[in-house]
């Protein structure tokens, strides 16, 4: 990677990935784009307003900045997508198809994240294999499975260097999430610090794979820098770090905040989605093919999250 374009850079992953990549490759070599102005992204490096559904503007931007690697992060997330499936399909697949075609035209490598949402009720729940039955019951999951297949197609048909990971829920202390089923695992820290109470929208016994943002960012870089001759799967690799239920993370937070309390007001949409996803994923292929290895676990992540969120609260940032 020498000249990088991040599409959808204003989202939860994109905002932090932009800073991470600029720290590695230099501010001027990472171009951030989003559908609206993002002052915090334009202060440290090049930024352009870009609607990824406009192929002409997309191609112009890639050509203007001499891009060789694209990170397509445009997506409507799981819970939001269920409210308007057609909009979710149009945005998620429109951005992907434009990304694939432009990567083909301009010879770019392309990263488009998949998700644990690509699995469904018929997939094995524990240590979900890399290669298994995938029949998701959300439009978000349908888009992710379709995206994996299309990315593999463009690689085999046109030689496009497509790569992807199936992200679990992402936990961040920098950017709040935007409508995903795993959002509770971020929101719980903010409420724990602010009020000492949290009302959880997901049942207490539901396991889901999670990952701390620093590991997610590291996975993006490792995969895109990996030797292509070693990649068997490409689209898309299971990656895993930790798996827990709301009750488990509550207990971990109470080690630091003994008075923390949690009750439940279960959202039936989020419950149905969560119960259809894996309890845990087998990421052995990612470990073998490009050296994936997470750094953070539940204990270290919880301590760091609370420290960072407390510091934000003391500054009056939420």
Residues 180 and 298 in one domain: yes
> What is the full DSSP assignment across 17-64?
HHHHHHHHH-GGGEEEEESS--HHHHSSS-EEE--TT-HHHHHHHHHH
Is residue 177 domain-shared with residue 164, that is, in the same domain? Answer: no
Instruction: Put the strands of the sheet holding 162-163 in their side by side order.
Output: 47-49, 30-34, 4-7, 69-72, 109-111, 162-163
The residues that are catalytic are 140
Same domain, 125 and 9: yes
CA atoms within 13 A of residue 98's CA, in its CB half-sphere = 24
Same domain, 79 and 151: yes
What pLDDT was estimated at residue 318? 85
Residue 98 and residue 56 in contact, taking contact as beta carbons nearer than 8 Å: no
Residue of 210, 246, 12, 187 whose CA lies nearest to 116? 210
Question: Does 111 lie in the same domain as 196?
Answer: no
Q: What CATH number corresponds to the domain at position 55? A: 3.40.50.720
**Which domain does 117 fall in, by range?**
4-168+214-238
pLDDT of residue 78: 76
Tally of domains in the chain: 2
Give the C-alpha distances (Å, rounded to integers) separating 239 from 168, 222, 283.
7, 12, 5
Distances (CA, A) of 252 to 129, 216, 241, 299: 28, 21, 16, 7
- Whole-number Å distance between alpha carbons of 93 and 68: 22
The per-residue pLDDT for range 230-254, each reduced to its tens digit, is: 999 999 999 999 999 999 999 999 9
Residue 80: per-residue pLDDT: 83
What pLDDT, on a 0 to 100 scale, did the predictor assign at position 12? 86
Q: What local confidence, expressed as pLDDT, does residue 175 receive?
A: 79
pTM, two decimals, is: 0.93
Write out residues in the chain with pLDDT < 50, as ranges: none
Do 145 and 183 have their domain in common? no
Secondary structure letter of residue 206 according to DSSP: -
**DSSP structure string for 155-180:** HHHH---EE-EEE-EEE-SSS---S-
């Amino acid at each position: 990677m020498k000249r990088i374009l991040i599409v959808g850079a204003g989202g939860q992953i994109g905002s932090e990935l932009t800073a991470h990549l600029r720290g590695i490759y230099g501010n001027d070599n990472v171009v951030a784009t989003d559908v609206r102005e993002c002052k915090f992204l334009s202060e440290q490096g090049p930024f352009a307003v870009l609607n990824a559904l406009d192929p002409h503007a997309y191609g112009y931007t890639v050509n203007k900045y001499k891009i060789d690697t694209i990170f397509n992060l445009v997506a409507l997330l799981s819970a939001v997508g269920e409210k308007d499936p057609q909009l979710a399909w149009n945005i998620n697949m429109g951005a992907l198809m434009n990304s694939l075609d432009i990567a083909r035209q301009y010879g770019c490598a392309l990263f488009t994240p998949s998700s644990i949402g690509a699995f469904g009720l018929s997939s094995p729940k524990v240590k979900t294999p890399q290669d298994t039955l995938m029949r998701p019951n959300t439009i978000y999951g349908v888009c992710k499975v379709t995206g994996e297949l299309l990315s593999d197609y463009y690689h085999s048909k046109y030689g496009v260097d497509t790569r992807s990971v199936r992200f679990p829920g992402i936990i961040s202390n920098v950017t709040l999430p935007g409508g995903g089923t795993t959002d509770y695992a971020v929101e719980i820290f903010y409420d724990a610090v602010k009020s000492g109470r949290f009302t959880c929208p997901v049942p207490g016994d539901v396991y889901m794979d999670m990952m701390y943002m620093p590991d997610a960012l590291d996975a993006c870089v490792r995969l895109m820098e990996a030797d292509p001759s070693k990649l068997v799967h490409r689209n898309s690799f299971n990656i895993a770090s930790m798996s827990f239920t709301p009750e488990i993370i509550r207990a971990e937070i109470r080690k630091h905040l003994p008075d923390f309390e949690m009750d439940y007001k279960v959202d039936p949409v989020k419950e149905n989605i969560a119960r259809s996803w894996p309890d845990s994923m087998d990421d052995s292929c990612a470990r073998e093919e490009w050296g994936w290895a997470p750094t953070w676990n539940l204990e270290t992540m919880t301590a760091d999250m609370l420290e960072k969120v407390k510091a934000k609260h003391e500054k009056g940032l939420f």
